[in-house]
């Protein structure tokens, strides 16, 4: 095994081009487990922790460009306003020790269907900035997950950053596990209201071979909200609409039975989380809308 | 490969390190510091918690090569770390002579002391664990001490919820965590009195 220690991003890209099998390592919270248990013996480890740029973020007008290695601790403490869904998701990651090391770049690189960040990224809307010596490209999050622990990266590419749309409305995140810490999600659900475009987006984790959106549920809800004038009148969402939305979210799952839970439990739990997160976010939206009207 | 880094305030050099080796292995097997415990090797239990550039991390998940040039504080250096913190905190008006002096007199954890702990001064959190009876088999204790000490550094007046969250990555299989909670509350109260 060789330990490659690039001092800059350019050096890292050159190293990855020269050794496409090199395994990038940042927080090490996935990679080191595999090495400790001898599940993986990569020929090259490509250490990215010397590259300071990866630990920084820039807040633009429309989106946040989040460096691939920004630890979850920073996201939950410093980006709660811009990225509330991802901040909530970050807070559910493992433990303080793990949140101090792990980041979204690693979550995307591993592309486990159980990765905590994925539902939040899918719901918020995001693009993965992948770079190689050949150039840079932005991969829409919807096209990023290609299979169980597979992603759209080319062998010579590294994840530089994730561009996540800044929240223009309430966002929520919910995760099912046996306790509040150190839990791999049995399943997880992210939901974001986008009042500017009058749309709702979702993300489901651990209930299909890849993280997925519940697109049929989104389309149904978008139409129902539009039809009922909900975005304007701020009424409570009709229970039948919430139920239909929940059922469609459960239907978007394609789960398996495993040690953490059965497929039918996962489907059921995703439906429950869909209904709850919709209620929480909508109540928050109504609260804001009412206040705005009051001021005007 | 060779790895140069600072451990408990002293430069250290580890030789013949395998590229896939963890920081935990280097500390225990190459530098003879067995305070950080090796249990799960997957970041679940927190027994191997150390401070890396000030931040608590599971040393089993840090690749040895990643600590090149970095600073590590282990449970063996916790008393010294806490002492320096108190002295720095007490120099609000700029008379920091003692801090520098203390730094020069600082001893590395002696071989005998690092094994038995006898004769060494304890960090307040360590004393509180003893006084509250928070140590049973003791295997989880070093990780808990490092994590709890870090929390008290950042948050001198923690609520019970703060303590639980800060220690949520540290598993203890002997106790019901109540004595551990007592110990951290005790350390926080004593820290408050001292200020």
Whether A14 is covered by a domain: the verdict is no
Whether A252 is covered by a domain: the verdict is yes
Closest Cα of chain A to B57: distance in Å?
Answer: 4
Q: pLDDT band at B95, cuts 50/70/90?
A: very low
Mean pLDDT of A248-274: 96
Using a CB-CB distance cutoff of 8 angstroms, which residues of chain A are in contact with residue B43?
Answer: 29, 32-33, 94-95, 97-98
Mean pLDDT of A255-262: 94
CATH code: domain of residue A245: 3.30.390.50
Mean pLDDT of B58-76: 98
What pLDDT does B194 receive?
79
H helices of A79-201, in order, are: 84-91, 96-99, 104-110, 117-124
Whether A55 is covered by a domain: the verdict is no
Using a CB-CB distance cutoff of 8 angstroms, which residues of chain A are in contact with residue B60?
Answer: 32, 36
- Rounded distance, CA A61 to CA B134, Å? 50
Per-residue model confidence as pLDDT tens digits over A12-36: 999 999 999 999 999 999 999 999 9
Tokens of B3: 């790895």
Q: In terms of CA atoms, which chain A residue is nearest residue B54?
A: A100
Mean pLDDT of B160-177: 95
- Rounded distance, CA B148 to CA B170, Å? 10
What pLDDT does B106 receive?
40
Per-residue model confidence as pLDDT tens digits over A227-242: 999 999 999 999 999 9
What pLDDT does B86 receive?
86
Contacts of B92 (CB under 8 A, 6+ apart): none
Interchain contact A25–B (C-beta under 8 A): yes
Mean pLDDT of A250-268: 96
Of A149 and B86, which is predicted with more confidence? A149
Whether A56 is covered by a domain: the verdict is no
Whether A265 is covered by a domain: the verdict is yes
Mean pLDDT of A84-111: 98
Number of CB pairs, chain A paired with chain B, less than 8 A apart: 88
Of B192 and A32, which is predicted with more confidence? A32
What pLDDT does B118 receive?
57
pLDDT exceeding 70 applies to what percent of chain A? 97
- Rounded distance, CA B171 to CA B96, Å? 39
Count of other CB atoms within 10 angstroms of residue A124:
28
What pLDDT does B119 receive?
62
Give the residue carrying structure tokens 């129902």: A224
Burial-class residue B121 by CB neighbours within 10 Å (0-12, 13-18, 19+). exposed
Using a CB-CB distance cutoff of 8 angstroms, which residues of chain A are in contact with residue B66?
Answer: 25, 28, 47, 49
- Rounded distance, CA B49 to CA B143, Å? 5
Look at A208-212, A287-291, B67-71, B146-150 and tell me which has the smallest mean pLDDT. Answer: A287-291
A231 three-class SS: helix
Determine contact, residues B36/B75, Cβ cutoff 8 Å.
yes
Closest Cα of chain B to A41: distance in Å?
Answer: 8
Domains along the sequence of chain B with CATH? 3-75 (3.10.20.30)
Whether A231 is covered by a domain: the verdict is yes
A270 has pLDDT over 90: yes
Inter-chain contact B65–A2, Cβ cutoff 8 Å? no
Whether A72 is covered by a domain: the verdict is no
What pLDDT does A51 receive?
98
Domain of residue A282 covers 171-295
What pLDDT does A180 receive?
86
Determine contact, residues A94/A175, Cβ cutoff 8 Å.
no
Per-residue model confidence as pLDDT tens digits over A55-68: 999 999 999 999 99
Inter-chain contact A5–B65, Cβ cutoff 8 Å? yes
B195 has pLDDT over 80: no
pTM of the predicted structure, to 2 decimals: 0.92
Inter-chain contact B41–A3, Cβ cutoff 8 Å? no
Report the relative pairing of strands B49-52 and B71-73 from DSSP bridges. Answer: antiparallel
Report how far Cα B31 is from the mean position of its chain's Cα atoms: 16
What pLDDT does B132 receive?
97
What pLDDT does B88 receive?
77
Mean pLDDT of B83-110: 50
B96 has pLDDT over 60: no
Count of other CB atoms within 10 angstroms of residue A52:
12
Q: pLDDT band at A142, cuts 50/70/90?
A: very high
Interchain contact B26–A (C-beta under 8 A): no
Count of domains in chain A? 1
* Phi, psi of A228, deg, nearest 5: -85, 0
Tokens of A86: 């991802």
What pLDDT does B87 receive?
84
Contacts of B62 (CB under 8 A, 6+ apart): A28, A32, A101, B22, B23, B24, B52
What does the H/E/C string look like for chain B? CCEEEEECCEEEEECCCCCCCEHHHHHHHHCCCCCCCCCCCCCCCCCCEEEECCEEEEHHHCEHHHHCCCEEECHHHHHHHHHHHHHHHCCCCCCCHHHHHHHHHCCCCCHHHHHHCCCCCCCHHHHHHHHCCCCCCCCCHHHHHHHHHHHHHHCCCCCHHHHHHHCCCCCCCCCCCHHHHHHHHHHHHHHHHHC
Q: pLDDT band at B97, cuts 50/70/90?
A: very low
- Rounded distance, CA A225 to CA A227, Å? 6
Using a CB-CB distance cutoff of 8 angstroms, which residues of chain B are in contact with residue A100?
Answer: 55-57
Whether A213 is covered by a domain: the verdict is yes
């Amino acid at each position: 095994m060789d330990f490659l220690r690039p001092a800059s991003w350019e050096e890292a890209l050159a190293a990855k081009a020269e050794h496409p099998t090199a395994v990038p390592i940042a927080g090490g919270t996935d990679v080191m487990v595999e090495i400790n248990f001898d599940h993986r013996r990569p020929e090259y480890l490509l250490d990215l922790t010397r590259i300071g740029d990866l630990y920084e973020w820039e807040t633009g007008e429309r989106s946040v460009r989040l460096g691939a290695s920004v630890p979850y601790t920073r996201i939950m403490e410093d980006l709660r306003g811009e990225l509330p869904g991802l901040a909530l998701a970050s807070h559910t990651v493992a433990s303080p020790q793990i949140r101090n090391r792990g980041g979204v770049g690693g979550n995307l690189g591993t592309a486990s269907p159980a990765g905590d960040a994925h539902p939040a990224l899918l719901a918020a809307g995001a693009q993965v900035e992948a770079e190689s010596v050949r150039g840079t490209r932005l991969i829409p999050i919807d096209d990023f997950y290609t299979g169980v622990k597979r992603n759209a990266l080319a062998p010579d590419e590294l994840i530089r950053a994730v561009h996540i749309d800044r929240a223009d409305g309430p966002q929520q995140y919910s995760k099912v596990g046996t306790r509040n810490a150190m839990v791999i999600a049995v399943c997880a659900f992210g939901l974001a209201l986008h009042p500017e475009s009058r749309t709702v987006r979702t993300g489901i984790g651990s209930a299909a071979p890849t993280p997925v959106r519940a697109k049929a549920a989104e389309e149904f809800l978008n139409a129902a909200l539009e039809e009922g004038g909900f975005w304007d009148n701020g009424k409570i969402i009709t229970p039948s609409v919430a139920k239909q939305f929940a059922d469609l979210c459960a239907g978007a799952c394609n789960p398996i039975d495993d040690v953490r839970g059965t497929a039918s439990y996962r489907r059921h739990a995703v439906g429950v989380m869909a209904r709850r997160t919709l209620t929480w976010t909508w109540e928050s939206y109504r609260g804001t809308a009412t206040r705005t009207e009051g001021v005007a | 490969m060779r790895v140069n880094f600072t451990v408990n305030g002293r430069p250290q050099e580890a030789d013949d390190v395998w590229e896939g080796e963890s920081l935990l292995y280097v500390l225990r097997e190459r530098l003879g510091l067995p305070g950080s415990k090796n249990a799960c090797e997957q970041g679940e239990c927190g027994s191997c918690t150390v401070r890396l550039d000030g931040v608590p991390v599971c040393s089993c998940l840090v690749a040895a090569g990643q600590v090149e040039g970095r600073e590590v504080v282990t449970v063996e250096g916790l008393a010294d770390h806490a002492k320096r913190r108190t002295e720095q905190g007490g120099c609000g008006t700029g008379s920091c002579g003692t801090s520098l002096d203390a730094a020069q007199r600082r001893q590395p954890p002696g071989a005998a002391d690092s094994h038995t702990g006898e004769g060494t001064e304890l960090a307040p959190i360590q004393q509180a664990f003893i006084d509250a009876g928070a140590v049973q088999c003791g295997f989880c204790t070093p990780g808990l001490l490092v994590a709890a000490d870090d929390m008290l550094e950042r948050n001198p007046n923690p609520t019970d919820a703060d303590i639980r969250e800060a220690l949520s990555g540290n598993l203890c299989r002997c106790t019901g965590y109540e004595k551990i909670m007592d110990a951290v509350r005790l350390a926080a109260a004593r820290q408050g009195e001292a200020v």
